[in-house]
Structure 1
Amino acid sequence: MGQILHGSATTTHAIRTAIQRSCASNAALSRELGINVKTVAKWRKRQTVEDVRMGPKEAHSTALSVEEEAVIVAFRRHTLLPLDDCLYALQPSIPHLTRSLLHRCLQRHDISRLPGMEGDKPKKKFKRYPIGYVHIDIAELRTAEGKLYMFVAIYRTSKFAFVRLEKKVGKMAAAQFLRDLIAALPCRIHTILTDNVLCREFPAA
């Protein structure tokens, strides 16, 4: 199998091996091999003859902030909605989010595949509800700038998702979220479902 070298490499694996095994000085090897003395010193210090991977140590987006990625990841894990449903629900909060940006973000965090796909555990199915049932939950996100709270509502009949980010959880934020949710839905809400204690802040529907 052929060796793969960095585009700017001035040495081969054989030369690097010879440098690491040689007892000659760096200056002597530099003259003998016709390469820079710093290159000799670099390969003499290393434990391998392979090039070091270039670029960022950890993959990250140049279009999405750390906070936006945290929201996307939390929303996906919380709702288990398909890609396009996630995109539709998140775009009001992240206007520059595109389908390709979303897909790459999910891939980076190893959640691009939903449970229930080939090789995974079966996806837990929602219980069937008649029109008018909405499940509301609140997830706490920790970012470099502090805490954010993600309000999530899922209309049980159609799986329509509505999401909002808030810096604080309280009656004012909860009431405004509920008003905006009611305005976004074509049908009247008559029952709110939740298993989150924070959702007690929501007024009765």
Structure 2
Amino acid sequence: MEIKLHANATTTPRVRRYIQQSAKSDRELAQELGISVATVRRWRQRQDVADRHTVPKTTRKVLTDEQSLLINWLRQKLQLPLDELLVVVNQGMQQPISRAGLDRYLRGVGQRNEDEGRALRGKKALKAGAQPGTLALYYQRISLLAADGGEQHLLWAEEKVSGWLNARAFAGASPVLVVNWLKELLSHCPGGIQSIETENKKLFGNSESQTHPLQLWCQEQGLTLQQPALPQMERVLRLESELAQLLPAAENLSLDAVLQAICTNYNQQWPQKKLGDLTPAAFWLQHRKD
């Protein structure tokens, strides 16, 4: 009968049975059989003499359906280019997917060619005459499981030339909260702000709402408030999995804490080729216009 052993096996089934039935000490058996004491102890603890399968008992796709949904949302709504999306997926979501693998995935869901018409960023934006200092504001309702906080209101700002990000999650949202968030945000910006672009939503006001808190605050700060055609967000982004399954770094942390950590790493620790191998924070600081 043919016996199939593991490639690195140092014992046969007969030797393993002998070890299990012997009354000798572990060290005596190891010296007698020319194997390690650890090997003797391992086979003495087992009831069988067969090699165990090395294939994982459960196999898992690189991306779950919920993670795919989140990646699609980041791509469509934040319009993250491939390299930036790769950083978020690898380091923010802690999913080990290659650039080529992510590119194939985006092609498969019809999102790979969305780079066309995207606003210039980094060195190319500077050559085109753009300067850092314009924030684009976005808002999104997110429905999480009750254990993760239930409904959350996501606010984030993106500096359009450097890609610098700031994101927070709140239990509620109002125009006054937006202003307070921006006041706190300004203290973390690497450079000055000249203008703000917003979605055309009640939360941010519009050109006709002259008494809107955000409009009044921008006037006080001497900031231009514009409302170009920014990507419209889904009314509610529903995530049916636990937050820690989507973002392993989120275990025992709130969504707000995770977002702040990801933004800090993204801004300060992830250099990008389009930024001259600088981080978004360093690029904005180097080319700031105060």
What band does the TM-score fall into relative to the shorter chain?
0.3 to 0.5
Higher RCO (C-alpha 8 Å, min separation 6): 2
Question: Under a length normalisation based on structure 1, what TM-score does the superposition of the two structures give?
Answer: 0.47
Question: Under a length normalisation based on structure 2, what TM-score does the superposition of the two structures give?
Answer: 0.36
